[in-house]
């Protein structure tokens, strides 16, 4: 085939591939926007006669297009946006404030357990019915939150919104009633008009925080915290992989497993204990601890066990002991060797794992080798690397 024709075919194929990718992205954006629009429209069906006062802002792949309406003399902004790949938050917001960042939702078993364990700490109002129903999840101070809910009218409006099936959020942008739904599930907007009325009463009853110091909400700070907790397992896996050589040079294979299970488990306990000390007393502490403790099981014990085996060798300053011994079997695969030798302890054989820097040659059974070992700082015997010639 003519070289020019080959180039033309390659360029055409590349352009078609790029066009395909761009088309998939555009279709994904349109599909996402349609889903968000259906969620907004579902709320609007519960607001008959709502007058549009501000057109929708342009939506993005995961962000909604917020529109402002007037409902029975009350301005309300309607929006829907993704909070994860699978869940959407559909909301009604009355612009007002600023207020302390506070989310109010029905108190569940998880929150009660967190409080019983002394991990979660929630502001109590003294209104038993409200305290039993509502959970106050916040990033702000107890003083500001207590001031928010000290009014009977505020508590009554929040109770009404919770009973209507909405959660409540206060922020610098105002007061908001929202529901979280699976992306493919429908939003029930039949009670939206009642929710808007309750939001109006809530905004009117809330105290003013203008000019007062509120704890700022930094989205990147929360993102960094979430990523740090979620990917703790990945750090442990990287640590275990990076210290694999120390693991392999530990003589007793059974001991290696014990160190990973017991020692790595203790490292995981220490990690979780550190999280408890760092987060205890916050309203969201128990949820964060449950997720981070479970996810960290994927890697922290492995990384902790490998680190302990590494420390056992790093901290060992002993001169070492040479053990002349005999090769029983030598297996090699892509540079990773298992050399089984007669035990210098006088019982059976000992498998030694190491990197074989030579070619494909292996040591024959019966060959003599010298193994140099150290007792280990923690008493876990380990051997020095063995060269291709058995020295």
DSSP string covering 192-245: HHHHHHHHHHHHHHSPP-TTS------HHHHHHHHHHHHTHHHHHHHHHHHTHH
Same domain flag for 93 and 239: no
Predicted local distance difference test score (pLDDT) of residue 49 = 84
d(C-alpha 285, C-alpha 290), whole Å: 9
Q: Is residue 210 part of a domain?
A: no
Same domain flag for 280 and 310: yes
Among 268, 288, 314, residue at a domain's last position: 314
Q: Is the pLDDT of residue 351 over 50?
A: yes
Q: Is the pLDDT of residue 195 over 50?
A: yes
Mean pLDDT of the region 229-238: 83
Predicted local distance difference test score (pLDDT) of residue 390 = 47
Predicted local distance difference test score (pLDDT) of residue 332 = 75
d(C-alpha 264, C-alpha 305), whole Å: 4
The overall average pLDDT reported for the chain is: 85
Predicted local distance difference test score (pLDDT) of residue 338 = 79
Predicted local distance difference test score (pLDDT) of residue 388 = 45
Q: Is the pLDDT of residue 254 over 90?
A: no
Mean pLDDT of the region 40-51: 86
Predicted local distance difference test score (pLDDT) of residue 308 = 93
Predicted local distance difference test score (pLDDT) of residue 378 = 92
Q: Is residue 390 part of a domain?
A: no
Q: Which residues of 338-366 are buried (b: 16+ CB within 10 A; e: fewer)?
A: ebbbbeeeeeeebebbbebeeeeebbeee
Q: Is the pLDDT of residue 220 over 80?
A: no
Mean pLDDT of the region 105-127: 90
Same domain flag for 183 and 234: no
d(C-alpha 72, C-alpha 192), whole Å: 12
Domain membership of residue 70 as a residue range:
3-205
Q: Is residue 356 part of a domain?
A: yes
Q: Is residue 211 part of a domain?
A: no
Same domain flag for 305 and 355: no
Q: Which residues of 110-149 are buried (b: 16+ CB within 10 A; e: fewer)?
A: ebeebbeeebbebbebebeebbebbbbbbbbeeebbebbb
Q: Is residue 214 part of a domain?
A: no
Rg, the chain, Cα only: 32
Q: Is residue 391 part of a domain?
A: no
Same domain flag for 310 and 180: no
Residue with more model confidence, 347 or 387 = 347
Predicted local distance difference test score (pLDDT) of residue 162 = 95
Q: Is the pLDDT of residue 389 over 50?
A: no
Predicted local distance difference test score (pLDDT) of residue 358 = 55
For residue 374, what is the domain's CATH number? 2.40.50
CA distances from 186 to 44, 189, 313 (A): 13, 9, 60
Same domain flag for 191 and 258: no
Per-residue model confidence as pLDDT tens digits over 16-31: 888 888 888 778 777 7
Q: Is residue 213 part of a domain?
A: no
Predicted local distance difference test score (pLDDT) of residue 92 = 93
Mean pLDDT of the region 1-16: 76
Predicted local distance difference test score (pLDDT) of residue 219 = 67
Q: Is residue 388 part of a domain?
A: no
Q: Is the pLDDT of residue 373 over 60?
A: yes
Per-residue model confidence as pLDDT tens digits over 304-350: 999 999 999 999 999 888 888 888 888 777 667 777 888 887 778 88
Domain count, the chain: 3
Q: Is the pLDDT of residue 361 over 70?
A: no
Q: Is the pLDDT of residue 83 over 90?
A: no
Predicted local distance difference test score (pLDDT) of residue 311 = 94
Among 254, 280, 314, residue at a domain's last position: 314
Same domain flag for 80 and 225: no
223-225-230-233 Cα dihedral, nearest 10 degrees: 140
Q: Is the pLDDT of residue 134 over 60?
A: yes
Least confident of 75-84, 179-188, 223-232, 305-314: 223-232
Predicted local distance difference test score (pLDDT) of residue 50 = 82
Same domain flag for 135 and 253: no
Mean pLDDT of the region 60-79: 81
- Pairing type for strands 87-95 and 102-106 reads unpaired
Among 314, 337, 358, residue at a domain's last position: 314
Q: Is the pLDDT of residue 263 over 90?
A: yes
Mean pLDDT of the region 253-276: 91
Mean pLDDT of the region 117-126: 89
């Amino acid at each position: 085939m003519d070289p020019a024709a080959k180039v033309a075919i390659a360029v055409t194929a590349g352009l078609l591939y790029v066009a395909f990718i761009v088309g998939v992205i555009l279709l994904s954006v349109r599909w996402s926007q349609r889903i968000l629009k259906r969620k907004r429209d579902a709320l609007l069906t519960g607001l008959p006669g709502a007058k549009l006062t501000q057109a929708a802002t342009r939506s993005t792949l995961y962000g909604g297009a917020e529109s402002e309406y007037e409902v029975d003399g009350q301005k309300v902004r309607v929006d829907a946006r993704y909070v994860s790949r699978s869940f959407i938050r559909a909301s009604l917001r009355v612009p007002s404030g600023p207020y302390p960042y506070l989310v109010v939702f029905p108190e569940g078993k998880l929150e009660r357990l967190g409080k019983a364990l002394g991990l979660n700490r929630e502001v109590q109002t003294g209104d038993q019915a409200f305290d039993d129903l509502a959970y106050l999840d916040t990033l702000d101070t107890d003083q500001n939150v207590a001031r928010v809910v000290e009014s009977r009218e505020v508590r009554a409006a929040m109770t009404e919104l919770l009973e209507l099936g909405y959660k409540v959020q206060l922020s610098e942008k105002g007061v908001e009633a929202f529901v979280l739904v699976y992306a493919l599930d429908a939003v029930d907007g039949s009670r939206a008009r009642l929710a808007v009325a309750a939001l109006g009463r809530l905004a009117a009853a809330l105290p003013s925080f203008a000019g007062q110091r509120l704890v700022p909400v930094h989205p990147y700070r929360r993102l960094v915290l979430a990523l740090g907790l979620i990917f703790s397992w990945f750090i442990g896996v990287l640590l275990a992989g990076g210290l694999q050589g120390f693991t392999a040079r530990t003589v007793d294979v059974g001991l290696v497993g014990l160190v990973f299970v017991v020692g790595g488990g203790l490292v995981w306990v220490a990690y979780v204990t550190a999280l408890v000390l760092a987060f205890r007393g916050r309203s969201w502490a128990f949820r964060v601890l449950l997720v981070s403790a479970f996810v960290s099981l994927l890697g922290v014990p492995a990384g902790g066990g490998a680190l302990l085996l590494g420390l056992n060798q790093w901290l060992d300053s002993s001169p070492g002991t040479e053990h002349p011994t005999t090769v029983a079997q030598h297996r090699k695969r892509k540079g990773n060797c298992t050399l089984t030798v007669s035990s210098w302890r006088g019982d059976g054989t000992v498998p030694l794992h190491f990197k074989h820097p030579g070619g494909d040659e292996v040591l024959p059974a019966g060959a003599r080798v010298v193994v140099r070992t150290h007792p280990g700082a923690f008493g876990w015997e380990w051997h020095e690397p063995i060269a291709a010639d058995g020295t």
